Structure 1
Amino acid sequence: MKIAISAVCLMGLVAVTLAPVAGADRQAVLASGERFLGGIGRIDPAGQITFVRPPGAVDDPAEADEQAPGDAAGRERKVALEELAIWGACTDSDLGSQILLVDGSLVLADSFLSWNGDGMSFYSELWGEVTLPLEMVRGVVFQPPTDSLARDQLVQRLRTATGRSDRMLLTNGDELTGVLLEADTSDTTARLPVGLRARPTGATDPVDLQGDRVTAVVLNPALASAPSARGLRTAYGFRNGDLLYASQASAQADRPASPARLTLLGGLELQADADDFFRELNFVQTFGGKTTWLSDLPAAGFRHTPYLRLDWPFHLDRSVVDGELRVGRHRYLKGLGMHTRSRLAFPLGGKFTRFAAEIAVDAKAGRQGSVIFRVYQNQQGEWSPIYQSPVVRGGEQPLPIQLDVTGAAALLLIVDYADRGDELDYADWLNPRLN
């Protein structure tokens, strides 16, 4: 698709950015675009989630005077999971050990109980004792970097690894390839195994490695079999950094005697105390429901105009510096990372009526970086502007936008310079979605 657009005067374009919403950590966003504040009180295995509105809850402070007393506050609201886009805010941890599963889930082990050729067993304060067959495990990060970008790139290295052998990534930068035979888990109070025993490729005898010399382990990618990504899938995030992709869930805050259950995409079932589950749960996001995530659609064209000479490609579901999309202390699973000045087009085929997203400068820019976001739509072969943001700077909260794209054949996203040329202009389109 040709993405060239004619020069259009934007001086009179009215920005329709909404104000950042207070209490976003407890905010639900539906596929329809509706937002409301509330906690989760029940998750039904049939695919329904029940929210509990706190007394006096006001979804939009600007409308506080218009909200009738008791308007849904303190009462339950039931929503089908397929209708929910996002609830809460996703966080992570720089603590080890982090176990990456083949379905994309990441779960923290507080200690290892056993690890050999048959599988591994670990203890989690939330999930108790968990046993995993090795074919469910993509790898383990024993010592995550404190720098978020380095941590993201290490996890991504495990996630995208190829080959037909195990790999031990050592703290000095070396890499040992071969077969991981077993781990010494005799110290059940430590997050790291005491040591690892491996047989290097081409060697007859095994070697022993001290646990604190190993940064991460990649298990044989040829043995991993990722589950199908079809159907409704839900990501559940927890305050300790666990991020679990599930096909089914069951939890009731008003029945603490009944354990909360998650069935992961890979088939593993986890159980937790219901009180602990709801206390730690801080994020829910659905995929395959009524929300279409823009980053799941094929891009039709991209162009970056360097300020000097450095080219910056765009990234799907990653920041422009190839880390997780992060703003403040939160990370975002869906989105686009772009750098000024660039433009990216997506065909819509007239199928959608609303485009929504949050826009921000990525946390990796700190308090630097400044960007102007623009959105154009193509109607009957003609491009026209439908949104221009104020200057968005590093360190600011994400700004939510909602735009009418009824009948649009295509959407064009543009990020442009604001202050100081293109210095640290790491633009994030967060959770861009269509319905």
Structure 2
Amino acid sequence: MMRLTLLGLLLATLAAPANCAEPQELVLLDGQRAVGRPTQLKDGALTFATAAGEEQSFAAGQWFRWGHPTKPDARPALYFGEQSVLVSKTDWTGKVPMTIDDRTVTIATSAFGKVNLPRDKVRCLLLAAAKEPGSAARLLDQAATDSSDDRVWLVEGDLLAGTVVDFDGTTLHLEFSGQTLPVLASTIAAVAFAGDETPANLDAKYLVGLDDGSLIEAAGCTLTTEQLSVESLGEWTSQSPKKLVFLQSLAGGVQYLSDLDAVDFRHTPYFSGEWPLARDRSLQGSPLQVAGERYAKGLAMHSAARAVYRVPAGMTTFAADIALDDSAGQSGSVVFRIYRVSADGAEQAFESEVVRSGDAPQPVQVPLDDAAAIVLVVDYADYGDQQDHANWLDARFVP
């Protein structure tokens, strides 16, 4: 039996094009799932090679996610849009593989080579802080706040404010109070540019994830066995499509609840302290993560809580994967419930068993029927509300 299994795996590997991405789970809109590799994406239509070597095709609107985003490598990175990050390539010269002038920020990447972005669309650069996840998360939060000045955080903790004149990968020049101060790249933790906290609108139809942790909100994406092309703040092409690890469709009629405003949200603490509703992030502000796998879309709630959403016109189904976030440690336990609300009142449409830390994500699909709204509820289970970091992963309305 072991020989047959190994032989099957070998044949499946040989059957897939050598330059394609590694096998991952593909999730279809109807809830079906398969493991394999995408070999072509054009105009939203996806061609997929299963682990058994079979080729299947799915039209735009039939699929919504393949794979998972990965943690960014600990190298300098550039952040833009709501979720986008480009990780720099390894540079053995000691220079930071980024430059800045008055109009453009340039980053050298392993997938796309040199990428030029409009300076006014870039939110933040992580330099030394990219090596320290805790520091990186804190500085990214600070960079997201409104500021009339460019800001430079130093490794030692100081903050400099003024106007970034330029950066050549070795020295950054910062102008303030009529003077220009040179700042060595080795002393810089992060850089944020002046502007309001509203991210650039990229009209994204896809999220595209690479093996170095880069994540791109893309208006267009084309994949063949020879190359990957992404349209974002420019058109970028890679001759290494095997670097692709994640694709998520933001089009096809699907409406993610994290992109909608809740009609009402209420958290009832077990003792004291209130938790907000988190969108596309965990309750700790980190990426949504279950069993080591990251998710780009979803809601996070702390028991006991409820969130109410109107059902958009044309939607027939609510779907999500339910689980406790890895940030819950080993102590969390909750019950998930879903209610449909119509002119006749509210009815319970779903109730889970007790979901505990470490449990695998459980797919849930609820027909909406004539519901005008749905209510998502997370309730206490064992030990009150201890570490009850509940995730509605990929929570979505489906037409």
TM class by smaller structure: 0.7 to 0.9
Cα shift readout 1:53-104 (whole Å, capped 9, x = no counterpart):
221xxxxxxxxxxxxxxxxxx3322223343211111112251211012464
How far, CA to CA, are the matches of 1:320 and 1:113 in structure 2?
A: 32
- Counterpart residue number, 1:260: 228
How far, CA to CA, are the matches of 1:387 and 1:225 in structure 2?
A: 36
Q: Does 1:283 align with 2:246?
A: yes
SS of residue matched to 1:423? coil
Structure with more contact order per residue of length (Cα contacts < 8 Å, sep ≥ 6): 1
Q: Does 1:394 align with 2:351?
A: no
SS of residue matched to 1:206? strand
How far, CA to CA, are the matches of 2:134 and 2:352 in structure 1?
A: 27
Cα shift readout 1:152-206 (whole Å, capped 9, x = no counterpart):
4533443x33233211122233211101122242xxxxxxxx3322113xx2221
Q: Does 1:182 align with 2:156?
A: no
Assess if the C-alpha contact under 8 Å between 2:162 and 2:174 holds in 1.
yes
Of 235, 239, 244, which residue of structure 2 is paired with 1:269? 235
Cα shift readout 1:12-61 (whole Å, capped 9, x = no counterpart):
xxxxxxxxxxxx972222223332222100122x3322111221xxxxxx
Residue ranges of structure 2 left out of the alignment (5+ in a row) = 1-21, 92-96
Instruction: Give the Å deviation of 1:351.
Output: 4.2
Inter-CA distance 311–120: structure 2 relative to 1 (3 Å threshold):
closer
Q: Does 1:296 align with 2:281?
A: no
SS of residue matched to 2:120? helix
How far, CA to CA, are the matches of 2:321 and 2:221 in structure 1?
A: 28
Assess if the C-alpha contact under 8 Å between 2:23 and 2:36 holds in 1.
no
Inter-CA distance 223–77: structure 2 relative to 1 (3 Å threshold):
same
- Counterpart residue number, 2:397: 434
Instruction: Give the Å deviation of 1:222.
Output: 6.1
Assess if the C-alpha contact under 8 Å between 2:23 and 2:51 holds in 1.
no
Instruction: Give the Å deviation of 1:382.
Output: 2.0
- Counterpart residue number, 2:72: 93
TM-score normalized by structure 2?
Answer: 0.85
Q: Does 1:197 align with 2:176?
A: no
Q: Structure 2: which amino acid aligns with 1:205?
A: Q
How far, CA to CA, are the matches of 1:294 and 1:352 in structure 2?
A: 12
Q: Structure 1: which amino acid aligns with 2:200?
A: A
Of 364, 367, 371, which residue of structure 1 is paired with 2:334? 371
Q: Structure 1: which amino acid aligns with 2:307?
A: L
RMSD between superposed Cα atoms in Å: 2.5
SS of residue matched to 2:179? coil
Of 72, 76, 80, which residue of structure 1 is paired with 2:55? 76
Cα shift readout 1:315-335 (whole Å, capped 9, x = no counterpart):
222222333222232222221
- Counterpart residue number, 1:48: 45
- Counterpart residue number, 1:233: 205
- Counterpart residue number, 1:125: 110
Instruction: Give the Å deviation of 1:423.
Output: 1.2
How far, CA to CA, are the matches of 1:80 and 1:210 in structure 2?
A: 51
- Counterpart residue number, 1:164: 148
Assess if the C-alpha contact under 8 Å between 2:323 and 2:359 holds in 1.
yes
Assess if the C-alpha contact under 8 Å between 2:310 and 2:372 holds in 1.
yes
Deviates more, 1:148-157 or 1:291-300: 148-157
Written as runs of structure 1 = structure 2, the 5 A alignment for 1:300-379 is 300-348=263-311, 351-379=314-342
Instruction: Give the Å deviation of 1:348.
Output: 1.7
Inter-CA distance 386–263: structure 2 relative to 1 (3 Å threshold):
same
Q: Does 1:33 align with 2:7?
A: no
Residue ranges of structure 1 left out of the alignment (5+ in a row) = 1-23, 56-73, 186-193
How far, CA to CA, are the matches of 1:389 and 1:51 in structure 2?
A: 32
Task: Give identity over the alignment, percent.
Answer: 29
